[in-house]
Structure 1
């Protein structure tokens, strides 16, 4: 029989319990403490940071666990955001053309917009469209064994092309202004404090559910296979698995997370525009994940929240220098602490544990035996 308390001394079980306790503490902080302690404006800002954290979670899954450095996550963020914003604009128009189409001289609702009159279609498209685009792109690219810097440059070029497309179609997408001025969000006033508070809780809950799902995925057999592909793709192929399929599925999941983040961003902030989706915003998400720790899902979430908060604070006081500070921070992290803040914390914790653990003295008989 197992002695009482023996199971609790298992390192794996203790680590799991610590993980559950930490998740519960963060959930309590976000769902109880923050709404009570923060004013409405700051709570709305935190909701925006959590939207970026959802997108960063997808990057952590694709890059940290799968080794796919995606520099175009803004594309999928934008697809989800525009899908939701199109429904809001059509709902506000109430059978007429959206305001920006009238200003642009459009006389008939484009066929692309018609399906988004239905909230069911819009909500489904928020995830389905980014997943479909990522799945097609992944199937075409990963089968050709495109990886590393080549894949990163390809996704970056995709983000740049997507922004050019959005800006160039003023009557279809709103051009550089994007889609804004939403007057009704599922029957609620988007400017009301109660609506903003509700959206905060929804965003925090979605982030929690997606984090638990991603964590479960990483711990599953598929997750172990994904890490194996990251560390030795050719070896995995020789073992009979298809790395292209594993990477495509993961890339599609990360795109779905980004699309959902963009859809939540629209009612939280009240706008979706090309300036939020291009190369620079996509790079900022990657920097945030790297600073937080790309090998840990919690690090990706932490990095997104902390970096966006720092961006808000520093850009208010030092508007011209924030980008330089961000670039310097990225270089320092990648050279001195490649595993980010979470990895640095683990290193410090291990070093402290080794110092606290006393060295066991070598028995005299063993020393005599070795001397003989």
Structure 2
């Protein structure tokens, strides 16, 4: 099996716009028949047996399904310790090998309050499974877009808490690690909420990891893949910033991202043009924000968060803020609701990483 990744190698201007130019990366090989060591994984990710996970889910009983995604089915299972876990069973497709390894590479190294904990993995025969801590309140999408009749309403302070937590998690990925990570798949579906509505980023199957020298990873055949810092920042990091801006719009408007884009299309302009119009038209502003937020006294804060979203969605990536700037801005709102603890919100002790890529223990995937 062979997996091909792609990288944005440059941004070029065309007719006044920046256009991302995509170039294929060198192919990374997987040789399962020879059971070679294919990637450097983390010593703290336990390997679990298929029998153990099958028993935990009652043989993957459909009654234990808690989610269905593009790459697999999510089950709720109780392991031998008596605690509930979320168990992702990837679809039977060799094309999902890269997503499986990306989750292991990213989540095996990252420990943070705003990133879902990866507790184990299993790879037996054709089965590939990932085991996470069970997050009781489901995902953000289901809270923002609950079916009619379901009693799911996110109050404004909870939305601020969620926005602040996601920004804090992105700071870890982009700024705080001894290696750098871009998520590249941020959406309301990938944000889980615990019992206190603290957000946990998940779905790292498209993530890319790089150290600060530019080396992304070494494949088993010894080839290195490099990417320039400018390309990394504009092509990848600012993509995460853009996706965060879409998340902010969902929190404000309460509509799915496709509906939000339809608003912009109907106004015969770009998304950022449409938001600029909302910032200057109070009547249209009130027409689009989530009706559950209207008349609650939050209008000024909603307006300011919309302004922040506007900066994230600017056409040119170089004009978008960093996630550290976003976090420092949004946490000002959080202080009003006593959502920030202290100046150590981003302290290094929250982060468990290997100091260099060389310290990662190699593990064999068979």
TM over 0.5: no
Answer 1 or 2: which has greater helix percent: 1
TM-score, length-scaled by structure 2: 0.23
* Larger RCO, structure (CA 8 Å, separation 6 or more): 1
